[in-house]
Amino acid sequence: MRLNNNARGTARMRRLSALVASSAVAVVVAVGIPMGAAWALSPTPVASKLPVPSDAGPIPNATVNDVDCPTAGNCTAVGDYQDTIGITHAMTLNLTSGTWTALAMLGPADAPDYTFADLNSVSCVSVGNCVAVGDYRVSTVKTEGFYAVETSGSWLSRGTVLPVPADAVANPAQTTFLSVSCVPGGTVCQLVGEYVTAQSVHSVIDTYSFSVPGITGSSQEVSPQVNQLGIGLNSISCTTATDCIAVGAQTGNFSEEATIVRETAGVWGNPQVVRNPRGGQLPGEYLSSVSCVSVGNCVAAGNWLDNNGNGFAETYTETAGTWGAAVNVGQPSNLNNPYVDDISCIATTTSCTIVGALSDNNGSLHAASAQMSSGKWGQLAPATPPTGSTPDHELLAVSCSTGVQCTAVGYYNDTGANQGTDGMAATWTPGHAPGAPTALHTTAASTRTAHLSWTAPTNFGTAFAHYEVFAQLPGGPVTDEGPFLSPGANLTKLSPGGTYHFTVITVATDGQVSSAAAITRSIPATTPTAPKLTRVVNLRHALMAIWAAPKSRGGAAISSYKVTTNCGGSVR
């Protein structure tokens, strides 16, 4: 279902046709590690290794899929790990007083001991009162969704099966639950998953109440639109017990379309497709996450593909119930194909953080984050993985608290003696945007080159990373000429005779960017190439010459042609 089919671990990245199986185990053990100096807050994500339950194997292949922090420094995370014989088990993690602890989570009572389980998402109504969702394997080909509950800081020892609508293919059905959203300070959580019917893949929404406690009401089905093969909702965000937004994608025979579904006063509406106008002719777009700050005010994040298959990051913002146009999130020019996994907004839709990964030229993933300040997105910037890591590594989820303090979780490949995958977490306080360059000017412009110089700002935000320089001809595409590490740039391969609009921005180490310094400069034209004489017609007392226009005009308009003849040595 997801474009990001290379990313490891997170259920948000699964395709509709590949509902991944899971299982349960019978060990509940706590393991604590102190934060120590390595966990000191920084202005950018600097990750450390997370613990695993004590029954984990020497190569735990752990992944931490989601995190929720009701208050700064008090977080709950969920994921999965492998035991000594390679069986994957669900786990929960808690951050309290600077220490992360890990617990194994048993699956529902009908889960065979040999099967696999994982937890994909967690959300809390308050510190120590949370609901997590995931899936477990009940046979070699069937999976079921389940939920786990934490009350007053203690997790129930076993998960509970989640119901699905009656049109599921079989009971147990092939299902997975991907996201949960609890109303802060309330008692209600909504859980979203997907399941297979005889015709297609549908989404399902269940409601959990801490007051009951348990699942209340009937499962609500969200069906794909006509001519769509399936719908998968990856993320849900609720601002009241009956007002939520869920996002994901719908798939057709040759396309994937970003989709938003709204619940109003307890009634779920029909799927709404949104499309990035820069996307390919066959849409390849999905929304991986959504964060709402109040009813009708949300930000959704995801990815889209162009006609050449290149991937880009994007967000959509809802203001007073109306969704705006797609906004692209930039990236360093030496990295590409970003994956956006999660978004968290605090108090307003103009202050948000996204996490995910960037690809290098070898296709390896590098954990990354981006910060929105005052409504403006910075670039996705590489995060710092734990010591001893090697790509791939990725931040799969983030939760920010009023302050703003953010905690993100994910995974990394370990190069140590026990090579494999480990979970990681980073807690940081985002900084401010850097200042803009000043005194931008151009010198030594030739027919194809220009030199730009500027004065560095006095404020570099978290710290200086680089400058980005952009060049654009009127009505043409914007070309990224950077990055540059000093306040000057030699630009080559310009078009002779063109009038360029140059802009320069400062990029901080956390990816935040400055406003742009701008200047317009005309590049000198060069000598045009000669026209090609194609025919000469003999007329009475005259000759008629016919020629083709020159291949290059030298960057300027042709005002006239000069025709000469040589008749008996007389040139005229």
Give per-residue pLDDT as tens, 359-393. 999 999 999 999 988 788 999 999 999 998 999 99
Backbone angles phi, psi at 39, to 5 degrees: -100, 5
**pLDDT surpasses 60 at 32:** no
| Nearest-angstrom CA–CA distance, 327 and 247 | 16
Q: Which single residue is written with the structure tokens 């609009």?
A: 501
Find how far residue 249's CA is from the centre of its chain.
Answer: 14
Sheet arrangement for strand 48-49:
48-49, 420-428, 405-414, 389-401
Write down the pLDDT at residue 497: 84
Residue 412 corresponds to which amino acid? Answer: Y
CA dihedral sign, ordered 266, 267, 271, 277: negative
Contact 134, 118 (CB under 8 A): yes
Write down the pLDDT at residue 171: 63
**Nearest Cα to Cα of residue 70 among 178, 185, 151:** 185
Beta strands in 185-271 (DSSP E): 188-196, 201-209, 214-222, 230-240, 243-251, 256-264, 267-268
CA dihedral sign, ordered 209, 215, 216, 220: positive
Per-residue pLDDT band at 115 (split at 50, 70, 90): confident
**H/E element holding 345?**
strand 336-345
| Nearest-angstrom CA–CA distance, 527 and 530 | 9
Look at 402 and 275; give whichever has higher pLDDT.
Answer: 275
Write down the pLDDT at residue 360: 94
Tell me what the mean pLDDT of segment 231-235 comes to.
95
**pLDDT surpasses 60 at 274:** yes
Per-residue pLDDT band at 572 (split at 50, 70, 90): low
For 465-511, write each residue's pLDDT tens digit.
Answer: 899 999 999 888 888 887 899 999 998 888 888 889 999 999 888 88
**H/E element holding 270?**
none
**Nearest Cα to Cα of residue 404 among 429, 437, 372:** 429
Write down the pLDDT at residue 161: 93
Contact 223, 231 (CB under 8 A): yes
b/e burial code for range 212-246 (CB count within 10 A of at least 16 → b): eeebeeebbbbbbeeebbbbbbbbbbbbebbbbbb
Q: Which single residue is written with the structure tokens 């409601």?
A: 207
Numbers of helices and strands, H then E, in the chain: 0, 44
Radius of gyration of the chain (CA): 28
Residues 6+ apart with CB under 8 A from 240: 183, 186, 295
Q: Which two tokens stand for residue 291?
A: 């964060």
Per-residue pLDDT band at 47 (split at 50, 70, 90): very high
DSSP-assigned letter for residue 224: P
Cα maximum dimension of the chain: 109
CB atoms within 10 A of CB 449: 13
For 176-197, write each residue's pLDDT tens digit.
Answer: 999 999 999 999 999 999 998 8
Write down the pLDDT at residue 2: 29
**pLDDT surpasses 50 at 151:** yes
Residue 497 corresponds to which amino acid? Answer: G
**Residues listed for the chain:** 572
Distances (CA, A) of 238 to 172, 245, 306: 28, 6, 32
**pLDDT surpasses 50 at 13:** no
Could you give the 3-state DSSP secondary structure of residue 13?
A: helix
| Nearest-angstrom CA–CA distance, 131 and 190 | 9
Q: What is the mean pLDDT of the chain?
A: 86
